[in-house]
Structure 1
Amino acid sequence: MRHVLQAVSAVALTSLSLSIAAQTPAASPAPAAAAIQVPLEKLPYSPVLNVNNLDRSVNPCTDFYQFSCGGWMKNNPIPADQSSWSVYGKLGYDNQQFLWGILRDAAAMKDRNPNQQKIGDYFAACVDETAVDKRGDAPIQPVLTRIAGYKSREALLRDLPAFAADVDGSFFFNAGSTQDPEDSDKVIAEQSAGGLGLPDRDYYLKTDAKSVEIRQKYVAYIAQLLSMSGEPAAQAKADAEAVLKLETALATASLSRVDMRDPYKTFHKLTLADLQKQVPAVDWTEFFKRSGAPTFTTMNIQQPALNAALQTVLTTTSLPALQAYERFHALTNAAPAMSKPWQDAQFAFNSHYLRGTPTMAPRWRRCTAQVDRFLGEALGQEFVRRTFSADTKAKTLLMTKGIEDQMKLEIEQLDWMSPATKAEALKKLSTIRNKVGYPDTWRDYSALKIDRTDYFGDLHRANDFASRREFGKIGKPMDRNEWGMTPPTVNAYFDPQNNDINFPAGVLQPPLYDPKEDEAVNYGNTGSTIGHELTHGFDDEGRQFDAKGNLRDWWTKDDAKGFEDRINCVRDQFATYTVVDDIHINSKLTSGEDVADLGGTLIAYLAWRDATKLQRLAPVEGFTPDQRFFIGFAQWACENKRPEEQRVRAATDPHSPGEARINGIVTNLPQFATAFNCPKTAPMVKANVCKVW
């Protein structure tokens, strides 16, 4: 089962979207707090600017990130069940521990509304380890029997439309619905790349020693799951090699992550008949029908060139290899919901080996994350009711308005942009919608059946509900009020086609935002995040969409060149930073986020100065207001990452590491050097700064 959600651009990394902190969501407590394994009745408080997080042995003009975060990094080692740890991660953990209490209560309540029943019973079924272990791999056996029953390649392909719709996992390709790039008021069908088991296509193509080792370990993992399902060891090894060969063929023909940032390279508005001609091995009409899509003609085919490889794979790969591929992907997808040996096997490769995580997260945390994923707006209603005030929403919107006003002034004063392009940019800016806290209309889950005695079935039905909901949007008007993140999420994002910025309630909490704190740190932290999301509308990707969210070139040729010249300054700078070992930042991948960091921080600073221009601001805790702004900006990014995680991020994450996101930005802001009285020769000062917006 697969579906494509609308693309969003954000300030932190999640499995769904791009985002500000670029950390794994919903992290566990640091070792010192590991014993506190009980739900929270109240969310803990932490100041937006915490002087205990500083490393005062470091001169801020030498290494501002270490100065701002050195104490935090020392006092917050990565928990054993995490590949990384950050300020965002700790807040995510606190939110999740609070959600745990909500779910525990919902599971035990006698008098419940329908949403409380669903979230409570899903959680109760998920945490019942005894029942899960007792079932073993029984839930996946019907799928394995189905795969084994194919007598020919043709039989497998005839069943593929139904199989892909019925079975959870990604097989050969992805498909679903998407907002029409040419007409953002409409939703159309989409077919795209999919079916790979490694994090990125480059894992299959790179020839360095580490990449070769990863592929060897991957083959061993495939063979392990196939052996656990009953295959003889020798056959499992041969089948695993065949699976790698099949996936390598798909990866070789796929676009890189950098190319995927160019919306013109992924937009090919064609028809269902065109797709049928490109991949005649699949009955596409039947596939979309089985997946819950209404009848349609027009669609987007993300990568037509890849479909030639897909057709070759489906028509020339042997039946045993195709069966092995389907078995493995069904097994690896189902493993976390089966008995402990299956969970352990998947964790050992995906989390321990690839990302360096020593131990698996506690089951309550994994189950809480699942409820948030599949029933996020039902759970979110309970979270918002207990945590999110009208005052927080009002003050966030007021801050956003001030930052937008400052962005308007910046655009009007640009000396490199023509009046014609400025007019389009200002039109786009004036139509950006600000969505704060939670949706105006909550999602309806009434069609989703949850049974507290059938966890595996609940997981499948939740996947099916989400998938069919996406396919069902095809041909309908775009719902611009929909959110791409749940209310408890510690994250934020900009949606280029909806032309809106979205701040869930979960991210508008201490230590990221506190309406009772002084404005300097709030603007430095959350204000810079608001500016970041706003700037995404005008980064290398977002700038290609107009005020309506349509893919349209509204730039003059000279203005486009002026933009590229300025963004290349940022790319050249960030390409010099090392991620881990000898791996440098892929600045062509991260430039959108880097530009958003740079523009967003500057705009937030100017908006803060304007908002407080009539006030007499005094130092607090030994720091001037300007210094507090910049420390507030830096301390959201405090983090620790395992080397394995850093390698994965370097290949897949469009965000730079935290150190680069702070030091790389302040070196381009003369206001920072002034605030800390930095000499011109200091490492945090550049003679020729990069400035885009």
Structure 2
Amino acid sequence: MPSIPHRSLLAFAVSAALAAGLGACERASAPSGDASKPAAQAGATAKAALGSFGFDTAGMDKSVAPGDEFYDYANGGWMKTTEIPADRSSIGAFAVLAQQAQKDTRDIVENAAKDANASGDEKKIGDYYTAFMDEAGIEARGLAPVKPELDAIAGIADADALAKTLGGQLRADVDLLNATNYYTDRLFGLWVSQDINEPTRTAPYLVQGGLGMPDRSFYLDGGRMAELRKAYQAHVAKVLDLAGIAESDAKAARILALETAIAKVHATQEETNDVAKGANAWKRADFDAKAPGLDWAAYFDAAGLGQQQDFIVWQPKAVAGISALVKSQPLDAWKDYLAYHALDRASPYLPKAFADESFDFHGHVLNGTPQQSERWKRAIDDTSGALGEAIGKLYADQHFSPETKARAEAMVKNILAAFGKRIDAVAWMSPETKAQAKAKLAGLKVGVGYPDAWRDYSALEVKRDDALGNAERAGEFEYQRNLAKLGKPVGHDEWCMLPQTVNAVNLPLENRLLFPAAILQPPFFDPNADDAVNYGGIGSVIGHEVSHSFDNSGALFDADGKLRNWWTKEDFAKFEAAGAALAAQFDTYAPFPDLHVNGKLTLGEDIADVAGLATSYDAYHASWNGTTPATLDGFTPDQRFFLGFAQVWRTKFREAALRNRVLTDVHAPGMYRALTVRNIDAWYPAFDVKDGTKLYLAPGKRVKIW
């Protein structure tokens, strides 16, 4: 089911992990790939497409003028010849590398499943995968695995029992400021992290939820959304019908009506992405006073939070509105709603008819994906979602060398130094603000490859013949692991991404960056490639994550991760003005005549792209040490740098998926992120881009942030 990402570089949701209720830091980032090629062959094919200096010359379209369509100049050949796999809603550089990571992970997981002598975590990995792959056993068990939950829902007799049921379903399945996944189909979601207002303690963050479709706009807007609502109601009815639940059509209508009422009280994407609006400290007693309706005592007791006194409520109006609906809406409507969501979450682990129906709506109707992924791909993703670090340890051992780690860490140091010089060079910023920024930069901590300490899965029970039970226990395990942090000293050693994840992340509350092993491969990073391409690729990724500490949200946090204004009033006004100009620039990008990029929603990522690319460019030039690299195959060093950057963002979407992304994702689509170059002065002489070309920006219109 849907997810919404943020402060990571890019995000790929894994439906099975979401269905299991796993925490955001536990989700694998491995989109489906082509199983017909062995992993080594696929890697060789990817490398063969690269030029001798590390970028894909065959994927360019040199007939296009760089100043008119730079994305097409860098990627036009690739766009013309690349087909989106039938089991995917999009394809791009991230996805291709993630497919390779998935295949590498498959080898690890299947070897564990075949090993009769496996023990410990490896046995759990093998048993989890085997249970998911046991289609015959799943078919034979039918609805038996989910029947106890359905029976319990049917037995709800009053408001107290409803509150306990809702509280018992709370899971650590959202992430506000790291991967920033705001979506949960449970009534509320929980994120446990450092307190945004008190950095010395850990706090539970309560987040709005309860929708089966990705966002409130799917319930409230007209046009395409009205058709999707009809399809969703039919999907709900079909799921209930498959379970033998009577009056499925009438109940589906009632469920849609209830979710529409929830959508009406939800905060918008822009509001949810506003850190200042989210940092609402509530005491336990505040819930009864500020959000009456739900029996909060029963809810929190069932959620294991009965003794917790301090919370952060991210969308207070939504929490109050949803709580009121618990009281005002009929009990039978809530029971129908809970039964449907129990079945929909369980669908990947139930007989084929349920899994197929789940894909048909969530994959095909919502995102335009023609074909469901092969079962092994879904099994790998699900296993990695449940036992991610156990798999990640084996992945890092097999696919990440000490040499790569050392070289990446050296690049990080170079880029941090370059960013420090950019702070010094900001003409409009006062010495007071610069000193605070330099202190924050100096305190930035960086993790490369994998965590120093691995997660302990000894308390997670895995059975070789219980796919749904394994998923549910994994969700409960992750939830309890997060609850255990409350009341204990804040730690800064947990990784919020797996080593096998093709991504990177900034953790603003911890002033920390993470670069997983899987992204430190071509086309982002190639030890054998020209430095220009590496700085354009992984260098811009590193710069992007560094810059997140100083984007429109990151700039609100001090060196200790506390939400505190460290700017002078005048400096912050100038910073906001530059951000407004960048938002206006991205507002002009329109993938469809009726749909533009929302520059306000994507602003944090866009700032990080602009500042990150500029910083990596500076670091690349500093690495020359007084010499000038040669022109290779007709491309100058600067041209190779900018082409390396642009090819990282090659992306091809199905229409439905692109529309959903523009509406719900705080990252602009890749074809527009590649146009970040318009704000970099050096790009213009590199490609002889002059006034009169489509992409030309006059020097005064180029946005410079940091």
TM range (shorter): over 0.9
Matches within 5 A, 1:358-369: 358-369=370-381
Give the direction of change, closer, same or farther, for the CA distance of 1:28–1:177 in structure 2 (3 Å limit). closer
Contact 2:294 2:324 in 1 (8 A): no
Secondary structure in 1 matching 2:604 = helix
In structure 1, the partner of 2:414 is 402
Which of 178, 184, 187 aligns to 2:199? It is 184
1:532 to 541, 544, 560: 544
Q: For residues 296 and 159 of structure 2, what CA distance do their matches in structure 1 show?
A: 17
Q: 1:333 aligns with which of 345, 352, 356?
A: 345
**Which residues of 2 match residues 201-600 of structure 1 at below 5 A?**
201-206=216-221, 208-232=222-246, 235-293=247-305, 295-600=307-612
Partners of 1:679 and 1:587 lie apart in 2 by 25
Could you tell me whether the CA contact under 8 Å between 2:194 and 2:200 is conserved in 1? yes
CA contact (8 A) 2:172 2:192 kept: no
1:11 aligns to what?
9
Match of 2:97 in 1: 91
Measure how far apart 1:681 and its partner are. 2.1
Moved more, 256-265 or 539-548: 256-265
Q: 2:688: which partner in 1?
A: 677
- Range moving further from structure 2, 348-357 or 310-319: 310-319
More deviation, 93-102/41-50: 41-50
AA aligned to 1:386 is: Q
From the superposition, tell whether residues 572 and 39 of structure 1 become closer, same or farther in structure 2 (CA, over 3 Å): closer
Shift of 1:55: 1.2
Distance 1:200 1:159, change over 3 A: closer
Worse-superposed segment, 240-249 or 548-557? 240-249
Judge conservation of contact 2:191–2:204 (CA < 8 Å) in 1.
yes
**Cα 1:171–1:667, aligned 2, differ >3 Å: closer, same or farther?**
closer
Pick from 194, 202, 208: which aligns with 2:209? 194
For the 8 Å contact 2:9–2:505, the answer to whether it is kept is yes
Q: Which deviations, in whole Å up to 9, do the C-alpha atoms of 1:244-300 show, x marking residues without a partner? A: 222222221221111112212111112112123344554444544443458321111
The amino acid that maps onto 1:296 is Q
What's 1:21 paired with? none
Query: Unmatched 5+ residue regions in structure 2?
Result: 19-27, 175-183
Structure 1 segments unaligned to the other structure (5+ residues): 18-23
Structure 1 residue corresponding to 2:703, chosen from 654, 668, 690: 690
Q: CA deviation at 1:147?
A: 1.4
Gap change, CA 1:503 and 1:163, over 3 Å in 2? closer
Cα deviation, 1:552-595, whole Å, max 9, x if unaligned, reads: 01111111110011111111111011023420001110011111
Alpha-carbon distance, 1:686 to partner: 1.0
Q: 1:690 is matched by which residue type in structure 2?
A: V
Q: Secondary structure at the match of 1:265?
A: helix
Q: How far 1:400 moved relative to its partner?
A: 1.0
Give the Å deviation of 1:150.
2.5
Structure 2 distance, partners of 1:238, 1:298, is 41
TM-score by length of 2: 0.92
How far did residue 172 of structure 1 move? 2.0
**How far, CA to CA, are the matches of 1:586 and 1:678 in structure 2?**
27
CA distance in 1, matches of 2:293, 2:146: 26
Query: Is 310-319 or 361-370 further displaced after alignment?
Result: 310-319
1:53 and 1:70 in contact (8 A); partners too: yes
Measure the CA separation in 2 of the matches of 1:575 and 1:272: 41
Match of 2:177 in 1: none
Per the alignment, residue 36 of structure 2 pairs with 35
Does the C-alpha gap of structure 1 residues 294 and 321 become closer, same or farther in structure 2, counting only changes over 3 Å? closer
Q: Does the C-alpha gap of structure 1 residues 155 and 391 become closer, same or farther in structure 2, counting only changes over 3 Å?
A: closer
- Identify if the C-alpha distance between structure 1 residues 638 and 517 changes in structure 2 by more than 3 Å, giving closer, same or farther: same
**Contact 1:8/1:494 (8 A) holds in 2:** no
Structure 2 distance, partners of 1:164, 1:386, is 36
Report which stretch shifted further, 130-139 or 89-98: 130-139
Cα displacement string for residues 39-61 of structure 1 (whole angstroms, at most 9, x for unaligned residues): 65995452441111111221222
Asked if structure 2 preserves the Cα contact closer than 8 Å seen for 1:268 and 1:302, the reply is: yes
Q: Look up the match of 1:118.
A: 124
Q: Given the two structures, how large is their TM-score scaled by the length of structure 1? A: 0.93
Deviations 1:196-238 (CA, angstroms, capped at 9, x unpaired): 11101121221x2211111111111111112222233xx3222
How many Å separate the matches in 2 of 1:150 and 1:273? 26
CA distance in 2, matches of 1:316, 1:585: 37
Q: Secondary structure at the match of 2:275?
A: coil
Q: Distance in 1 between matches of 2:146 and 2:584?
A: 50
Question: Match for residue 66 of structure 2?
Answer: 60
Aligned pairs, number: 675
Task: Write the deviation string for residues 518-575 of structure 1: whole angstroms up to 9, x where unpaired.
Answer: 1110000110111111111111111000000100011111111100111111111110
Deviations 1:53-86 (A, max 9, x none): 1112212222111011112222321000000001
Alignment of 1:646 with 2:658, yes or no, is: yes
Equivalent residues of 1:520, 1:628 under 8 A apart: yes
Partner of residue 156 from structure 1, selected from 146, 158, 162: 162
SS of the aligned residue for 2:186 comes to coil
SS at 2:71's partner residue? helix
Q: Answer whether contact 2:558 2:566 (CA < 8 A) is retained.
A: yes
- Work out the CA distance in 2 between the residues paired with 1:277 and 1:146: 30
What is the distance in 2 between the residues matched to 1:109 and 1:41? 25
Q: Provide the rounded CA distance (Å) in 2 between the counterparts of 1:41 and 1:609.
A: 35
Deviates more, 1:610-619 or 1:196-205: 610-619
Maintained 8 Å contact 2:500/2:516: yes
Contact between 1:266 and 1:302, CA under 8 Å: does it hold in 2?
yes
